[in-house]
Amino acid sequence: MAEEIIISVSPLETRVALVEVGLLQEIFIERSHTRVTVGNIYKGKVVRVMPGMQSAFVDIGQPRAAFMHITDLVDSQFKYMEGGFNPDAKYPPIQQVVREGQELLVQVTKEPISTKGARATTSISIASRFLVYTPRSNHIGISQRIEDVESRTRLQDIMARVHQDSDTDGFIVRTASERATEEEIQRDAELLRKRWRVIDQEARGLPASSTVYEDLPIHLRAMRDIINRDTASILVDNQEVFHAIERFLMDFIPEKLGCLKLVSLKVPLFDAHNLEDQIITALNRSVPMKSGGYLVIDQTEAMTTVDVNTGAFVGRKDLEETFYRINLEAAAVLPRQLKLRNIGGIVIIDFVDMVDEEHKRQVLRILEKGQQADRVKWNISEISDLGLVEMTRKRTHESLLKVLCAPCSACDGKGYIKTTETVCLEIYREIQRKALKFAGHGCLIMASQSVIDRLLDEDAASVADLSQSLACTIKLQVETSYTQEQFDVVVPLHG
């Protein structure tokens, strides 16, 4: 299916959209003051070792130290052991691997998220169009997405010529290599080896907490990682970025040079393709489906929950068939929503309860089929007795919601605010606590318009009774800057 890559550039941000048949599939945003750090290589300094957690914190020159688990430090030694990965391999105590003050060459694998710093590893890798280079591991791997046996055999033969058994470095063959020539793969391998030698040499002369290597800017990362055989057009609205992409394509993907177009429209590029509205929709909790059912997606600190609801869909046959049909549609819709919203970590999907085991298997097959189109790794469990599916989606960046939004100042991210009735009752209790202070002076209630309106209307009798019982004059004042939950009860300036 034909895909479009649409790149909109402004002085403050660059946005890259992947569009398929007019539908936004993925959106990548990089702002000038928050550059992406995943893939960057730093000369770090260990600032704290925590034996109880088998972890360490490394200063990489960012506001927060990067986190490293023991697996991030020695995994390359265990992951590709002869005979395959050994899950029972015992990791050494972390204090035997690193010490405070030690300098390490590390690579960021996960962006800082919420209050957590970046995740880093010493298992460094550098990506090109066709290969991922692993200078500290001599493993040779081929992308699992290349399923054709002949293609895998051909690539294995090519890599046997590119990489000798005595070499200490290694490569992972990317999906884009399926149709690549041996010359193209050989050129990528030489380029990556040369780049690593430069990085390794430069790192030796730099002080701790320095940036050694920065990954490509977002528009070039898109060319390297997103372009595939289905890419039909690449639209750019900035001349400088257009020329940078043109040079990149000319050097590495010349067959896609004809897809690149510099666009100059009277309306912004994203507006012209109806993408702004789709981005706004992707921030909504509720996702309507064609049948009349809908999904409710809630992101929390620990996990994301997805609730499948039948809504207006009543079916035609029986209850089991109705639930099966709505679950099938939800399983087809959900993978795109997770990609578009860039939701990672643990995801719990609450499908409508089904009894038929074959129906459950079919729903899972549809979910797994949708996952195959995602470049990010998934792990999916079976449907539980409660109708829940537990899954994980690898998280390296903040979700779209976290990038574009901040917690509400009124509700502090809860999603709810106290009712006017609740706030009025809190005000009464506050007055009673300070009754002695107000005796002979009265009190002034300062609150939002909605709360004052209730005190003057539904609660007017209660305010009068409280004033009488405490022998205290109560005055009311609207504060337009207050949220519904805010109030103050004070002694009036003029008694």
Flag whether 123 is in a domain: yes
pLDDT at position 470, please?
A: 83
Residues 376-394 pLDDT 10s = 888 898 888 888 999 999 8
Q: CA 92 from chain center: how many Å?
A: 32
pLDDT confidence of residue 477: 94
Residue 7, in any domain of the structure: yes
pLDDT at 434: 85
Residues 363 and 484 grouped into a single domain: no
Per the structure, the complete domain to which residue 267 belongs is given by 3-34+217-277
Output 493 or 72, whichever has higher pLDDT. Answer: 72
Do both 71 and 184 map to the same domain? yes
**Claim to verify: residue 87 and residue 209 sit in the same structural domain:** yes
Please work out, in degrees rounded to the nearest 5, the angle formed at the alpha carbon of residue 345 by the alpha carbons of 341 and 347. Answer: 75
CATH number, domain of 29, equals 3.30.420.60
User: Is 102 in the same domain as 71?
Assistant: yes
Which secondary-structure segment (H or E) carries 121? strand 119-121
205 and 244 both lie in a single domain: no
Helix (H, G, I), strand (E, B) or coil at 17: strand
Residue pair 115/67 in contact by the 8 Å Cβ criterion? no
**Residue in 220, 235, 219 with CA at minimum distance from that of residue 19:** 235
For residues 45 and 185, membership in a common domain is answered with: yes
Q: Using an 8 Å Cβ cutoff, are 152 and 158 in contact?
A: no
Let me know whether 247 and 311 are in one domain: no
Q: Which residue, of 213, 233, 254, is where some domain finishes?
A: 213
Give a yes or no: residue 415 inside a domain.
no
| 482 DSSP 8-state letter | -
Question: What percentage of the chain has pLDDT greater than the value 90?
Answer: 47
Residue 340 CA: distances (Å) to CA of 279, 335, 370, 492: 9, 9, 13, 54
Average pLDDT over residues 277-300: 92
- pLDDT for 4 equals 93
Report which secondary-structure segment, H or E, holds 74.
helix 70-79
Residue burial 188-218, b: 16+ Cβ < 10 Å; e: rest: bbebbbeebeebeeebeeeebbbebbebbeb
pLDDT (0 to 100) of residue 77: 52
426 falls within a domain: yes
Section 161-165 average pLDDT: 84
- The mean pLDDT value for 465-478 works out to 88
Residue 155, domain member (yes or no): yes
Residues 71, 58 share a domain: yes
Boundary residue ending a domain (370, 404, 438) = 404
Between β-strands 126-127 and 231-236, what pairing exists: parallel, antiparallel or unpaired?
A: unpaired
Statement to judge: residues 209 and 221 lie in one domain = no
Q: For 370-442, where are the E strands, in sequence order? A: 378-380, 388-393
349 and 435 in a single domain? The answer is no
Tell me, yes or no, whether 118 and 253 share the same domain. no
pLDDT by residue (tens digit) across 63-113? 889 999 998 888 655 544 444 445 556 788 888 888 999 999 999 988 887
Report the domain count for the chain.
4
Mention every residue, 6+ apart, whose C-beta is less than 8 A from residue 157. Answer: none
Q: What is the pLDDT of residue 164?
A: 82
Q: What is the pLDDT of residue 432?
A: 87
CATH (domain of 354): 3.40.630
The overall average pLDDT reported for the chain is 88
Q: How many CA atoms lie within 13 A of 33 on its CB side?
A: 2
H/E stretch holding 279? helix 275-281
Q: Residue 176 falls within a domain, yes or no?
A: yes
Average pLDDT (192-219) is: 90
Last residue of a domain, one of 359, 379, 404: 404
pLDDT at 32: 80
**CA distance linking residue 87 with residue 79, whole number of Å:** 9
Angle between helices 319-341 and 357-371 (to 10 degrees): 20
* Residue 413: inside a domain: no
Grade residue 253 by pLDDT with cuts at 50, 70 and 90: confident
**Are 234 and 338 within one domain?**
no
Compute the chain's Rg from CA coordinates.
29
Residues 348, 258: Cα–Cα separation, whole Å: 43
